[in-house]
Chains A and B, each alone.
Chain A
Amino acid sequence: METTLTAPKNIAASTPGNTTNISGSQAVLEAFMAEGVDTIFGYPGGAIMPIYDALYDYNNELTHILVRHEQGAIHAAQGYARSSGKTGVVFATSGPGATNLVTGLADAMIDSTPLVCVTGQVFAHLLGTDAFQEVDVINITTPITKWNYQITDATEIPHVLAKAFYIARTGRPGPVLIDITKNAQLQKFDYEGYKKCEHIRSYRPKPIVRKEYIEQAAQLINEAKKPFVLFGQGVILGRAENEFKAFIEKANLPAAWTLLGLSALPTDHPLNVGMLGMHGNYGPNVLTNECDVLIAVGMRFDDRVTGRLDKYAKQAKIIHLDIDPAEIDKNVQTTVPVWGDCKETLPMLTKLLQPNQNKEWIEKFSAFAQKEYDIVIHEELNPSTEIMTMGEVIKTLNELTNGDAIIVTDVGQHQMVACRYAKFNQSKSNITSGGAGTMGFGLPAAIGAKFGAPNRTVVAIIGDGGFQMTLQELGTIMQFNVNVKILILNNRFLGMVRQWQQLFNDKRYSFVDITSPNFVQLAKAYSIEANSIDKRTDLKNALQTMLNHNGSYLLEVMVGKENNVFPMVPQGCSVAEIRLQ
C-alpha cells in the first residue's frame, strides 16, 4: 500500500517516523490538504469553532465560502462536485446547522454525488444530555448517507477522514458525514502524517467484472435487430464518456439519456435520440416498448423513467451495466447483468461488437422525432402567440452560448424544459436535482458549479417558486463575486403542480398561485445587476446582456402562465402511452 505522508502546515517538516503535536482541528484541515480540497462551503457555529479557528491559518490554501444557510452550503458542494468531478466539502455546526444539511444529503445520496460533510458536535461528555445545539445527527443522517461516523477522540481524525474521502468518491459515489465532538477538535495529539485510504476490507467499491456476461451481452447486441441504449449518470461518474461514445458508435446503437445522464453525450451526436421518462422525448419512450434488446448503462430505472413497471419493455432482453450490484433487478428484471465500472466494462463490450447499421431502426426514432417536433416542439420553440414560452428562452440561450455553458436548474417545469431543449457539447454541463427533486437546489448549486469550473459560463435556470426557497444565497454571490447568470423563468405559478392540477384535478388550482417580490430590485439590493423582460423582441438582447455582463446577473423572463410541458407520460401509465398534448 502506498503511503503518503504530508508535513502539517505551520509546523516544522517532520522527518519520517517523527510525530508532531497538533490539534484535531488542524488534523481535519491537513486531511483536506492531502485530499486536494481547494474549496469548502460552510457556516460556522459554536460546536465547530475550533475548526474555524484553525481554518484562519489555512486561508491561503483553502478557500472557504461563507453561505447564508447550511442548505446552501451543501447544494453548493453538490454543484461543485458535479461540475468538477471532485468531492464537495461542507462545514456546518451542530444542531440546526447539521439538520439544515439533511435535504442536501438526501439529494446527494439519491443522485450519487460525492460529498464529505464535517459537522461540529457538543463535547463528548455532553452527548445524550440534551445539551445546547445537540442533535443526534448520526442517526438522523444514517439513511441518507453512504457512510457516517462520529469522532470523539482526535487521534481518530486522520484515518476516519481518509476513509470518508475514499468512500465518498469510490464505487457508486455518495455523501459521507463526519460528526466531530468539540473536545476532539480541541484535543492535541501526536500526528503521524496523513495516509490516504486505499482499502477497507468490508467495502468493495467495484464488483469483479465477469467476462462471460460481457460475452453474453455482446452476443445479444450483435443478434439484435432493434437495440436501444439508455444511459445515466454512471457514464459521467465513471468518466467513461469516450468509452461510451465508442461503444454506441461501433454498432450504431441509438442512445437516450436520463435526466442525470444528460451532457454525457453531445446533444448533436447523431446517435443521441433524446430524453427518457415522464417529460422525455416521444420516440425514446414509445420505442422502449418496441426494442428487442435494451442496454442500460449506469442508470437505475427510476419510476420517472420507467412509468408503469409491469408494462415496461416486456418484449425486450435487458442488459444492465452498473457498478452497484443492488441496482441489478431492483426495478427491472435483467437478462444479462454486467456488474462493474462502465469505464472497464464498456471497452470490453465494444471489442466484441460487430459493426452494424441499424438503419431502419434508427429511422424510426427520426420519424417519432419529426412527429414530436410538429405537434409539440415547433410551437414551444416558435410560439405563434405573443406570450413567451420557456422553450424559446432556452432556444435563444442555446444560440448565444452555443451549448458551451453549464446549465444548472432548479425543479419543476423550467427544469424539464431546460433539460429537453438545452444544448450541450461537453460532459458535466447539466446540473440538476434529479432523484430528490429539491426545489431551491438551483441557485446554491450554481454557485458551487462556478467554483468547480471557474472558466466556464454558469447559467442557473430557476422558476419563480424555487428561487424563493434559497434566494438568501444572493448574499453569497454578492460577497464572493460569484459570476453566475441567474435566469428566472417566471410564470407566476408553481407550474408543475398547476399542470397536474389542470390535467388530473379538474383545474382545481389549490395553492399554486404564488406571488413574487420584485426580483430586479431584490438583486440590486444585493448589488447584482438585473433586468426583467416580458416581450419577445427584448429576449435575445437581454440574454446577450446577461451573458456579456462582467459578473453575476439576474434576468427575469415573464413566460406564459398556464403553459404545459409536453410530451408527458401520466403517472401510472406505460411509457408507450406518452401524451403529446
Chain B
Amino acid sequence: MKQEFTITVYTENQIGLLNRIAIIFSRRKINIESLNTSPSESEGIHRFTIVINETEDVVRKLCRQIEKQVEVLKAYYNTEDEIVWQELAMYKVSTEAIAEKVKVERLLREYGARAVVIRKDYTVFETSGHREETDRLVKFLEPYGLIEFVRSARVAIIKSSHGFHEKLKEFEQTEPGEEVIENEYLSKQAEVFTM
C-alpha cells in the first residue's frame, strides 16, 4: 500500500549530490512531493528531507540506493506518526482589501499567522504548520485576492532519533563500530528470518 514517507538523508556538502539523489527517484518515475536541503545538527553535514508517496518496500530499496552514493552517510525513512514536521507558507494580499474587509486580529489569532511586511499597497503574512493548516489560510484569503502564495518544503524531526553526532564520530573512524552499518535484519530477525 502506498503511503506518505519522509526520507531523511545525512550527507557531505558536495556539489552535484542533489542531482545524484534526485535521479534515484526520477529513474524509477517516482515523484518527489517535497524536498528540502539544510544544515544538520552536525557541523559540515547536510540533511535532505524528501517526501514521497510509495510502498514501504519501494522506500526501503530507495534508501539503500541513496545510501550507496559515496557522499551519503545515512538514509532513514519514516511514516508521518514517527516524525514532527512543519511547512512554512507566505501569503501576499492587498493591504487595502485586508484592512477594510478582514478582521486582521482574527486572522492572526485563528490561523497563527504573523505579518512579516505591512506596506501601503500589500501585506505579507506567514504561517507554519501542517499542510491542512497552511491550506486553510489560503482558502480564507482567496476571496480577498491572494496576490502571491508560496509554501516551503517539509522539514521534519525524527521522534526517536538521538541525532547524528555520535554516528558521525563512528563514521570518521577507519574501523567503524557496528552502529555505523546497521543491519536492519538484526532488529527484525524474528520477522525476516523464518526457518
A579 CA / B18 CA spacing, docked (Å): 46
> Closest approach, in angstroms, between the C-beta of A165 and any C-beta of chain B?
13
The interface stretch among A39-47, A57-65, A204-212, A539-547 is: A204-212
> Closest approach, in angstroms, between the C-beta of A278 and any C-beta of chain B?
24
> Closest approach, in angstroms, between the C-beta of B21 and any C-beta of chain A?
10
Specify which chain A residues have a CB less than 8 angstroms from the CB of B113 in the assembled complex: none
Q: Give the residues from 48 to 95 in chain B that come closer than 8 angstroms, CB to CB, to chain A.
A: 60-61, 64-65, 67-68, 70-73
Q: Give the residues from 300 to 355 in chain A that come closer than 8 angstroms, CB to CB, to chain B.
A: 317, 324-326, 328-330, 335-337, 339
The residue in chain B whose Cβ has the minimal distance to the Cβ of A147 is B70
A201 CA / B180 CA spacing, docked (Å): 11
Q: Give the residues from 120 to 171 in chain B that come closer than 8 angstroms, CB to CB, to chain A.
A: 168, 171
Specify which chain A residues have a CB less than 8 angstroms from the CB of B64 in the assembled complex: 325-326, 328, 330
Known interface pairs A208-B181, A325-B64, A326-B65. Does A143 touch B23 (Cβ–Cβ under 8 Å)? yes
Give which listed residue, B15, B70, B183, contacts A210 with CB less than 8 A: B183
Specify which chain A residues have a CB less than 8 angstroms from the CB of B180 in the assembled complex: 204, 208
Is A11 in the interface zone, CB < 8 Å from B? Answer: no
| Cβ contact within 8 Å between B23 and A142 | yes
> Closest approach, in angstroms, between the C-beta of A435 and any C-beta of chain B?
15
> Closest approach, in angstroms, between the C-beta of A39 and any C-beta of chain B?
26
| Cβ contact within 8 Å between A148 and B23 | no
| Cβ contact within 8 Å between B12 and A202 | yes
> Closest approach, in angstroms, between the C-beta of A381 and any C-beta of chain B?
42
| Cβ contact within 8 Å between A210 and B61 | no
Q: Give the residues from 177 to 195 in chain B that come closer than 8 angstroms, CB to CB, to chain A.
A: 178, 180-181, 183, 185-186, 192-195
B-contact 0/1 string along A16-45, CB 8 Å cutoff: 000000000000000000000000000000
| Cβ contact within 8 Å between B71 and A335 | no
Give which listed residue, B176, B186, B192, B195, contacts A204 with CB less than 8 A: B176
A326 CA / B174 CA spacing, docked (Å): 22
B-contact 0/1 string along A207-223, CB 8 Å cutoff: 11010110010011000
The residue in chain A whose Cβ has the minimal distance to the Cβ of B170 is A201
Is A199 in the interface zone, CB < 8 Å from B? Answer: yes
Is A390 in the interface zone, CB < 8 Å from B? Answer: no
Is A504 in the interface zone, CB < 8 Å from B? Answer: no
| Cβ contact within 8 Å between A202 and B193 | no
The residue in chain B whose Cβ has the minimal distance to the Cβ of A207 is B181
> Closest approach, in angstroms, between the C-beta of B166 and any C-beta of chain A?
14
A204 CA / B72 CA spacing, docked (Å): 10
Known interface pairs A199-B174, A216-B195. Does A143 touch B27 (Cβ–Cβ under 8 Å)? yes
For chain B, give the interface size range: 20 to 34
| Cβ contact within 8 Å between A220 and B195 | yes
Known interface pairs A204-B176, A208-B176. Does A142 touch B12 (Cβ–Cβ under 8 Å)? no
> Closest approach, in angstroms, between the C-beta of B28 and any C-beta of chain A?
11
| Cβ contact within 8 Å between A339 and B183 | yes
Q: Which of B68, B73, B174, B194 has the most CB of A within 10 A?
A: B68
The residue in chain B whose Cβ has the minimal distance to the Cβ of A216 is B193
Is A146 in the interface zone, CB < 8 Å from B? Answer: yes
A540 CA / B19 CA spacing, docked (Å): 55
Per DSSP, are chain B's interface residues mostly helix, strand or loop, or mixed?
mixed
Known interface pairs A326-B65, A339-B183. Does A202 touch B19 (Cβ–Cβ under 8 Å)? no
Per DSSP, are chain A's interface residues mostly helix, strand or loop, or mixed?
mixed
| Cβ contact within 8 Å between B183 and A138 | no
> Closest approach, in angstroms, between the C-beta of A73 and any C-beta of chain B?
24
A138 CA / B16 CA spacing, docked (Å): 8
| Cβ contact within 8 Å between B73 and A201 | yes
> Closest approach, in angstroms, between the C-beta of A214 and any C-beta of chain B?
13
Q: Give the residues from 506 to 528 in chain A that come closer than 8 angstroms, CB to CB, to chain B.
A: none
Specify which chain B residues have a CB less than 8 angstroms from the CB of A200 in the assembled complex: 70
| Cβ contact within 8 Å between B195 and A335 | yes
Is B172 in the interface zone, CB < 8 Å from A? Answer: yes
Please count how many residues in chain A sit with their CB below 8 Å of the partner chain's CB atoms. 37
A212 CA / B195 CA spacing, docked (Å): 14
> Closest approach, in angstroms, between the C-beta of A337 and any C-beta of chain B?
6
| Cβ contact within 8 Å between A210 and B186 | yes
Is B11 in the interface zone, CB < 8 Å from A? Answer: yes
Is A537 in the interface zone, CB < 8 Å from B? Answer: no
A149 CA / B12 CA spacing, docked (Å): 14
A219 CA / B195 CA spacing, docked (Å): 10
Is A1 in the interface zone, CB < 8 Å from B? Answer: yes
Is B20 in the interface zone, CB < 8 Å from A? Answer: yes
| Cβ contact within 8 Å between B68 and A201 | no
B-contact 0/1 string along A123-164, CB 8 Å cutoff: 000000000000000110011001111100000000000000
| Cβ contact within 8 Å between A167 and B195 | no
Is A203 in the interface zone, CB < 8 Å from B? Answer: yes
A337 CA / B188 CA spacing, docked (Å): 13
A143 CA / B12 CA spacing, docked (Å): 18
> Closest approach, in angstroms, between the C-beta of A314 and any C-beta of chain B?
14
| Cβ contact within 8 Å between A204 and B174 | no
Specify which chain A residues have a CB less than 8 angstroms from the CB of B186 in the assembled complex: 210, 212
Is A538 in the interface zone, CB < 8 Å from B? Answer: no
| Cβ contact within 8 Å between A202 and B73 | yes
Is A198 in the interface zone, CB < 8 Å from B? Answer: yes
A575 CA / B61 CA spacing, docked (Å): 25
Give which listed residue, A201, A324, A336, contacts B193 with CB less than 8 A: A336
Specify which chain A residues have a CB less than 8 angstroms from the CB of B19 in the assembled complex: 139, 142
The residue in chain A whose Cβ has the minimal distance to the Cβ of B24 is A143
Q: Give the residues from 35 to 52 in chain B that come closer than 8 angstroms, CB to CB, to chain A.
A: none
| Cβ contact within 8 Å between B174 and A1 | yes
| Cβ contact within 8 Å between A203 and B194 | no
Top 3 A-B pairs, shortest CB-CB distance: A326-B64, A201-B171, A147-B70
* B interface, CB within 8 angstroms of A: 11-12, 15-16, 19-20, 23, 27, 60-61, 64-65, 67-68, 70-73, 168, 171-172, 174, 176, 178, 180-181, 183, 185-186, 192-195
Q: Could you show 5 A-B contacts with beta carbons less than 8 Å apart? A: A139-B16, A142-B23, A202-B11, A207-B181, A337-B185
Given A202-B73, A202-B171, 13 more pairs with CB closer than 8 A: A1-B174, A142-B16, A202-B11, A202-B72, A204-B176, A208-B181, A219-B195, A220-B195, A324-B68, A325-B64, A325-B181, A326-B68, A328-B64
